[in-house]
Structure formats: C-alpha cells, structure tokens
Amino acid sequence: METVEVLISRDKLKKRINELAEIITGFYGEKSVYAVCVLKGGAMFMVDLLHEIELPYEMNFMSVSSYADGTESSGVINVSLDMDDDLTGKNVLFVEDIVDSGRTLDFLIKRAKSRNAADVRVCTLLHKPDRTLFDIPLDFVGFEIPDEFVVGYGLDYNQKYRDLKYIGMMRFED
Ligand code: IMP
Ligand code: MG
C-alpha cells in the first residue's frame, strides 16, 4: 500500500517561497529575468515564485526527461519542449522542482550558455545533497531534504500526487 507522510507543510512552503522571491528580487536589482520552468514538476513553484518577485520577467518552459541507458551515470536527456535558440543578453533563471543527481540541470546550464545567455542561475525548491553527483551551482535553494522520494506541489509518482498542497514522502507498505 502507498501512503504519503508530510515533509514540508503548505505554510512552510509559502513562507519559504516568499523568502526566495525577496532574495531573488534583491539579487537581480532592476534587471529583467528570463525564467525557464522545467516541466512538469516545476510548474506550481514557478508560478507561485514569479507572483511574489518584484522584477520584470519573461517566462519560458522546457520539457525534458532523462533516460538511464544501462547504467545510472550514462543518462541521456531528451528535450521535448525547448527554450529560445538565441538567449543573447538574457539573464536565465532555471526554476526546478528538485535536484537529485543534478544531471538535468548540468545539461540545461550548458545548453543555455551555448546559446549565449548573459547570465545563468538556478532556483530549485528542493535539493537532495546526498544524491547529487554533478557539480552545479545552485544559486537559490528552498529546502535541502534527505534521500527520500517526495511528491506533491507539482512533483509526482507515476503522474500521481501532483495535486497535494504540501511536500510528502512516499511510503510503500504491503
Ligand atoms: P536529476 O537530473 O537526477 O537531478 O533529476 C531531476 C528530476 O528527477 C527532477 O526534476 C524530477 O522530475 C525527478 N525527481 C528526482 N527526485 C524526485 C523525487 O523525489 N520525487 C519526484 N521526482 C523526482
Ligand atoms: Mg524537474
């Protein structure tokens, strides 16, 4: 049987997102931000975060999936929805739900840089430091969490639980 245990309550999420928005607003000053949401998991977070940010911003969306071809470390990233081809002058801010191995963001950061972005930053709601293999700069992090499979607030388990208002840990019992 699957159950979900609360890890981060709705109130804690809201409070931290407001704090992140304030930090990000201060960081960019008057600059315009080109926010790129990594779908689908980052959707709720991106909207709630941008709502609180006091900066001019553009929005874009990417859809990527990572396939492990044989071994964990040789994952290949498939892009099914991409950002603009030319990012000249853009201050790219990737908005992610969670950084696990870091493979997805490592790929995305390189892609943005190769398209001439003026600046590339990352904002992730959740980070599992114990599992991260790629050395990527995480500029803005909501919560560091233990090595647990989490769902809710956009994050899924087989497309389920995205609708939860909180972040929960999956528990499997028989
Ligand atoms: P990475 O490329 O290994 O960092 O994986 C990042 C992606 O894996 C995230 O954007 C999620 O879509 C997915 N993912 C990793 N951990 C979890 C989890 O605990 N719950 C739900 N999705 C996860
Ligand atoms: Mg994601």
Higher pLDDT, 38 or 70: 38
| pLDDT band at 5; cut points 50, 70, 90 | very high
If you count DSSP H runs as helices and E runs as strands, how many of each does the chain have, helices first? Answer: 3, 9
Computed over every residue of the chain, the mean pLDDT equals 94
Q: For residue 138, what pLDDT is reported?
A: 97
- Which residue's CA is the nearest one to ligand 1's atom 15? 100
**From the alpha carbon of 128, which atom of ligand 1 is closest?**
16
Instruction: Please enumerate in sequence order all residues whose Cβ is within 8 A of that of 20, keeping only pairs 6 or more positions apart, or say none.
Output: 49, 123, 140, 142
User: What mean pLDDT is predicted for residues 102-107?
Assistant: 94
Regarding predicted confidence, which is higher, 173 or 81? 81
What is the pLDDT, as a whole number, of residue 74?
52
